[in-house]
Amino acid sequence: MDLQLSGKTAVVTGGSKGIGLEVVRTLLSEGMRVVTGSRTITDGLRATAAVPVAVDLSTPDGPATLIDRALAELGGIDVLVNNVGIGDAADVAQGALLNLVDLPDSAWQHTFDLHFYTALRATRAALPSLIERRGTVINVSSAGARLVTAGPVDYNVAKAALNALTKVIAEQFGPQGVRAITVAPGPVSTGVWTDPDGFIAHVAAQQGLPHDAFAKQLMATLGASTGRLSTPAEVARLIAFAASPNNITGAEYLIDGGVVKSA
């Protein structure tokens, strides 16, 4: 199916690996021109035709730096995919291992800087171009935003705030032609789950359990109806559909294999 994205432009935050890298590849395959920002430029990203920008997006000036570079490269932005997240596995693991009393303010601040403020700042910087081009903002959230106690609590709360931000963008800028959509993955077969030094492995080690056994136990506890992880390619295809011309805005699309049972 032709998604009518050929010739359009996109900015993807956190496009060096995982879901972000697959989004970059998918949008390029649809004929888009893509600029992506991340702290490191991986070999996988270098192998694409995207324009990589090395930038720390968790800093106050990082998102605007990326958007300025993208505007210089692309001339304008049709789609902004706010995808960056997770970061250091040990940082995220704190939110799963510590309770509300013990999790320090610094952890909450770091998590919100990366998972909420990055999206807010990138969106604000891109809005003039998005308004001009009647563009689309796609916020990559998490099924955890609906299951805030089942995982890293600071991460899940930050993602819940990101979901609310999508609604605000859609409502405030819809009359000017800007759409905003949330895509919320559940467990995905990225390094977060599979790497020996990823988040799941880190939590498993803290609990004295083998990585594979803990991952299987956690999947069973989450109760995915499909019984499997989603793939980055599946998430990327949903994001590409959301970016395509349509009349969807303010909506949340779960891609979690049925982890979230409520409507």
For the chain, the domains span 9-190+231-255
Cβ 79 vs Cβ 9: under 8 Å: yes
Q: DSSP letters along 124-139, please?
A: HHHHHHHHHHT-EEEE
* pLDDT tens readout for residues 167-190: 999 999 999 999 999 999 999 998
Q: Which helix (H) or strand (E) holds 252?
A: strand 252-255
* pLDDT beyond 90 at 64: yes
* pLDDT tens readout for residues 146-168: 998 777 999 999 999 999 999 99
- Amino acid identity of 93? A
9-190+231-255 belongs to CATH 3.40.50.720 = yes
Q: What are the structure tokens assigned to 46, written together?
A: 């270098």
* pLDDT tens readout for residues 99-121: 999 999 999 999 999 999 999 99
Q: Which residue has the higher pLDDT, 117 or 208?
A: 117
Bridge partners (DSSP) listed for residue 33 = 9
Average pLDDT over residues 1-12: 96
Residue 206 confidence (pLDDT): 81
Average pLDDT over residues 123-146: 97
Mapping DSSP to helix (H, G, I), strand (E, B) and coil, where does residue 247 land? coil
- Amino acid identity of 112? F
* pLDDT beyond 70 at 226: yes
Catalytic residues: 141, 155, 159
* pTM: predicted TM-score of the whole model, two decimal places: 0.95
Q: Which pLDDT band, with edges at 50, 70 and 90, does 87 fall under?
A: low
